[in-house]
Structure 1
Amino acid sequence: MNRNVILTCAVTGAGDTAGKNPNVPITPKQIADDCIEAARAGASVAHIHVRDPETGAISHSVDRFREVMARVREADVDIVINITAGGGGDWIPDAEDPTRGGPGTDIQTPSQRHAPVAALLPELCTLDCGSLNFGDMVYVNPADWLREHARLVQAAGVKPELECFDLGHVWFARQLQQEGLIDGAPLYQLCLGIPWGAEADPESMLAMRNKLPANANWAAFGIGRQQMPMVAQAMLLGGHARVGLEDNLYLKRGVLATNAQLVEKAGDIIESLGGRVMTPAETRAHLKLRDPGTGKTVEQAAGGQA
């Protein structure tokens, strides 16, 4: 059991959710405000996507990521920033010519996906560790693309959060580590309940956890109604947790949530099980992340290294 829990809030995501819950943030200011409110509610980490303010759809704009990060950093609260690098992988075959992408297809190269990370150097970024039947589309991330992307993240000095939606993703993430493409103790995120990946249940989480390297830090989340049960399950199995409107729109049946409310509810669960949520500063030290002010890890700061 883990009694010191890193709690991530995934504030918006990229899915078609803005029309389902008016609390889903869309503009850079709204997204930043929700990161700040999540921090005040006790979150350790904010996981950030950006959206087109006019349509609410997915955006890859470096300038929008920059605005969100600047607003969060200027606030009077602290939170670790984790920006997505997993966008641009959506493939929907065209109905008439399945060799071509149809409406909704959004494909980026590894270097394009990496552009916001390279420009802004957040403390964390995601690295989605394989392809997947993702609902009615295919998320495309071939092995060679992943190797290229891992090299880019490594060169930037940003710690990757290895997002795994199935057991094969865990296998390949271990391969990246064996090939020297992941520095230090790896950080895994077990993503559960997305059709058609690993289910959001104790058996799936335990199976994936049991395949992790011995030195791994790990967290897990479930989508929809499984969000809070997976918070408790992850803590009981020794991991960390994630909540937020990217993964779940409801506080309880029929009651639409805000990000801050989901963080508070998860914090209550963690405390009721005898644990506590780690502060952002504790999170940086535990994961050996770079301080956003100095650019140094805790170890480097103590040793006076660049």
Structure 2
Amino acid sequence: MRYTTIGDRRVSALCLGAMKFGSETDDATSAAVLDRFVEAGGTFVDTADCYQFWVEGFEGHESETFLGRWRRERGITDEVVIATKLGAQPTVPGTGLETKEGLSAEVVAAAAERSRRRLGVDRLDVLYAHQEDERTPLEETLGAFAELVDEGSVENVGLSNHRSWKLERARAVTEARGWPRPRVLQYRYSYLQPRFDVPLRSMGHMHITPELLDFVRAEAAEGREHTLVAYTPLLWGAYTRPEKAAELDGAYDHPGTPARLAALDEVVRETGATRNQVVLAWLMDSDPSVVPLVGVSSLEQLNEAIEATDLVLSEEQWRRLAEAG
């Protein structure tokens, strides 16, 4: 297992997504996946307070609730870092993001308390603002997060699905006020790159842009490191399953996609790894490095991802992949 850091915490360079735990993935499988991940050295798990409200029969707290129960049953304490998010839970049952709670100071305080209670912790390891809230000034949200850190309820602050200019605004505001800056950034990212002039179909997704990567590099040069986490790194199985590839967003329908897949297959042949493993290794070997957030529904899928942490691409292989398309 590879490792990286979030602030002062050492975490696995592979993050396990718990979105479907407690809902679409049955309890026995969810627990087995978590147990295997920890056994292999995994220490970074991701969830949100709204997972999965959009699935019929569920309300949006199921993943956190399951993780809290698993922690208690396994006696897990601070050896596993659990990141959660707030702000996207609908306020009206049966609706979607159009009624999301948002990121007001009142919501941040109340939602964080609910997450601590479900997870069974006194302090949240990582707490993200899940999505931008156009109704609430960023200063108000960051101030509410700062209060949580000050009182010991949150260790690390994160931003998910925020435009690059808002990251710079967050840096300026927190520096001026002496507040804790967002150290963890979570966005959608994979080896295949979409067109940025075509909106992604997926609900609430925001993709990493070259500008965002440049921001993270520039910040690191100034001594302000970030942990960059990428969800949907395997594009729902599109690298290995033709039916999933056919369902990809139209944003991926451009000449760069087949060129990148051809380069990917070259490296697959050279390394003997799977497509998925090369993609995960490419992300981890990137500059800035990226922590892939993988969602799995079986031990077989998890083991494939775990094995990818042992794959280190040569500089030439990484660059050939990066420059394809």
Question: Do Structure 1 and Structure 2 share a fold, with TM-score over 0.5?
Answer: yes
Who is 2:95 aligned against? 103
Q: CA RMSD in A?
A: 4.3
In the superposition, relative to structure 1, how do residues 242 and 197 fare at CA in structure 2: closer, same or farther (>3 Å)? same
TM-score, structure 1 length as denominator? Answer: 0.58
For 1:172 and 1:259, locate their aligned partners in 2 and report how far apart those are by CA, in whole Å: 40
Gaps of 5+ in 1: 93-100, 133-138, 246-256, 276-306
What stretches of structure 2 of length at least 5 have no aligned partner?
5-11, 190-199, 237-275, 315-325
Conserved 8 A contact 2:33-2:302: no
SS at match of 1:162: strand
Structure 1 residue 176 displacement after superposition? 5.0
1:156 aligns with 2:152: yes
Amino acid at match of 2:144: E
Q: Cα 1:112–1:123, aligned 2, differ >3 Å: closer, same or farther?
A: closer
CA-CA distance at 1:125 after TM superposition: 2.3
Please point out which of 172, 193, 207 is paired with 2:214.
207
Counterpart mapping for 1:33-182 below 5 A: 33-49=32-48, 55-59=57-61, 66-73=68-75, 79-90=79-90, 103-104=95-96, 105-107=99-101, 109-116=107-114, 118-119=116-117, 120-122=121-123, 124-128=125-129, 131=132, 142-143=137-138, 144-156=140-152, 158-165=154-161, 166-175=163-172, 177-178=174-175, 179-182=177-180
Counterpart CA distance in 2 for 1:205 and 1:262 is 30
CA–CA distance in structure 2, aligned partners of residues 141 and 13 of structure 1: 29
SS at match of 1:82: strand
**Distance in 1 (alpha carbons) for counterparts of 2:143 and 2:62:** 21
**Residues 192 and 220 (structure 1), Cα distance of their counterparts in 2 relative to 1, 3 Å cut:** same
Matched residue, 1:219: 228
Distance 1:211 1:130 in 2: 23
Task: Write out aligned runs for 1:174-193 (5 A).
Answer: 174-175=171-172, 177-178=174-175, 179-182=177-180, 187-192=183-188
1:272 aligned partner: 311
- Residues 271, 224 of structure 1: alpha-carbon distance in 2 compared, 3 angstrom cutoff: closer
- For 2:269, the equivalent position in structure 1 comes to none
Alpha-carbon offset, residue 71 of structure 1:
2.5
1:152 Cα deviation from its structure 2 partner: 1.4
Residues 53-95 of structure 1, C-alpha deviations (whole Å, 9 max, x = no match): 99233128986664243124359xx841314141545479xxx
**Cα separation, 1, equivalents of 2:300 and 2:115:** 29
- Return the alpha-carbon distance in structure 1 between the equivalents of residues 72 and 147 of structure 2: 26
8 Å contact kept, 1:130–1:141: no
> How many residues are paired up?
236
Higher helix share: 2
Q: Residue by residue, what CA displacement relative to the aligned partner does 1:240-271 show, whole Å, maximum 9, x if unpaired?
A: 413232xxxxxxxxxxx426445433333332
Structure with greater Cα Rg = 2
Task: Extract structure 1 runs of 4+ deviating beyond 6 A.
Answer: 60-63
- Contact 2:188 2:205 (C-alpha < 8 Å) held by counterparts: yes
Identify which of structures 1 and 2 has the higher relative contact order when contacts are C-alpha pairs closer than 8 Å and 6+ apart: 1
Return 50-59 or 166-175, whichever deviates more: 50-59
SS at match of 1:272: coil
